[in-house]
Structure 1
Amino acid sequence: MPWEKSFNEQNAIEDAMNIFWEKGYEATSISNLIEGTGVNRGSLYNAFGGKRQLFTQSLLKYDVQTRRKFLAELEALDNPVLAFKTLFNTLVQQAQSGAQPRGCFLVNTSIEIATHDKETKDIVIQAFTEFEAFFRRGIEVAKARSEMPSNIDAAATATVLFSLVVAIRVLGRGAFDQLSLQVIADQAQHLVSQQV
């Protein structure tokens, strides 16, 4: 009789994602995953191959349902100035919600990137590249509509804006309070403020 799964794979990946997001890859044990997902060791290995593969699937799931979804919603506003303002204000609010802010799973993973395999590195780099491209496209659209100064260097400014996203995500985990994070958010918006 063939082996049949007695659990929902997507639910298990979701549970694992939250564990990895909270603890990081290195600090997460197989025991943590078994306890957190409710899937026994044999089934976990049969379904996913191991901790590394489950981590990769968890990171991809986070990327799809968090970063990609959020940026798609912002682009759908068809107003880059509003989209950027909404993005930075949302990041500040997210950093201050909950007793122990977890930051961004992708950013957290990038901090320990040296310990990860090529597949994980590629996921993080691709996500960051797409995030930066979101800013670059928005700046180009706003410049074409005379909603941002024409002398803004779209590529360089996009890199700086993304760097400020990372700063809020990292510092928002407890090093900075809301007021300090809002200063970063305000400066990000100031970089592309209308001076046309």
Structure 2
Amino acid sequence: MANAIERVLSEPVLDKTMRLFWAKGYAQTPIEEIVTVTGFNRAAIYSRFGGKRGLFLAMLDRYRHRVTARLLDPLRRPEDGLDAIAAFYRQLAETPELAEHSLGCLLVATAADQANLDAPASALVASYLEELTALIRAALENARDQGRLCPAVDAAASADFLAGNVLGLMTLARWPAPSRAFHNQIDEVLRYLHGLEKEQQ
């Protein structure tokens, strides 16, 4: 039995399971569908994860460390200042799951689902928002050190605003809104970033 369970815990099966929760959310993903669509079997789900809730939390953690970690990569170069933030937003516009497939962000969707936001899920959502905000603030502060940021700009306040805008974008991506709304939002953020730049003498 142990070997059979390990066989279904392959990377492709785990990725399919994560994407199923990503597309439908926790409440709208019955365990029967998980078994049918992903190839998981009930024995593996209950033996390894304790049930659907444990499996969902594991997939939320997988999403946090695989998907959001990749999306945050442009911001991990804070020395690039405003260019790092702009690159991050442009990448969102080029990510098919966001711009084309309307999946949005699993963490943001989970945060909006108050009925299913327990302490472990809340901690994962909070850690993402904290990291996102901290990375944006570091990039803004580097831009200030480089003399590229308007003196009047409050880096902490702007970081909160930009991080909140990301949450709005991820929510917009899940709605049946025209794709132009998503791209127009990003274009406006890029214009906002340009407005933060200090005029060069």
Q: Report the TM-score when normalising by structure 2.
A: 0.85
Of 181, 185, 194, 2:185 maps to: 181
Tell me the number of residue pairs that the alignment of Structure 1 and Structure 2 aligns: 193
Question: What are the residue-to-residue correspondences of 1:1-40 with 2, within 5 Å?
Answer: 3-4=2-3, 5=5, 6-40=7-41
Partner SS, residue 39 of structure 1: coil
Q: Does 1:89 align with 2:90?
A: yes
Query: Does the CA contact (< 8 Å) of 1:59 and 1:105 recur in 2?
Result: yes
Number of the residue aligned with 2:103: 102
Residues 4-36 of structure 1: per-residue CA shift (max 9 Å, x gap): 323235443322110000000110100111112
Aligned equivalents of 2:88, 2:192: Cα separation in 1: 10
Question: What are the residue-to-residue correspondences of 1:9-158 with 2, within 5 Å?
Answer: 9-76=10-77, 78-94=79-95, 95-97=98-100, 100-158=101-159
Number of the residue aligned with 2:198: 194
Residues 22-56 of structure 1: per-residue CA shift (max 9 Å, x gap): 00011010011111221221222112211111111
Moved over 6 A (4+): none
Aligned equivalents of 1:191, 1:48: Cα separation in 2: 48
C-alpha displacement at 1:154, in angstroms? 1.2
2:188 is aligned with what amino acid?
I
Query: Does the CA contact (< 8 Å) of 2:78 and 2:135 recur in 1?
Result: no
Query: Does the CA contact (< 8 Å) of 2:74 and 2:87 recur in 1?
Result: no
C-alpha displacement at 1:135, in angstroms? 0.8
Partner SS, residue 172 of structure 1: helix
Q: Report the TM-score when normalising by structure 1.
A: 0.87
Query: Does the CA contact (< 8 Å) of 1:74 and 1:83 recur in 2?
Result: yes
Aligned equivalents of 1:63, 1:18: Cα separation in 2: 12
Aligned equivalents of 2:24, 2:157: Cα separation in 1: 33
Aligned equivalents of 1:162, 1:123: Cα separation in 2: 16
Percentage of matched positions with identical amino acids: 26
Unaligned runs of 5+ in 1: none
As a proportion of its length, which structure holds more helix?
2
2:197 is aligned with what amino acid?
S
- Across the aligned residues of Structure 1 and Structure 2, the Cα RMSD in angstroms comes to 2.1
C-alpha displacement at 1:127, in angstroms? 0.7
Query: Does the CA contact (< 8 Å) of 2:78 and 2:138 recur in 1?
Result: no
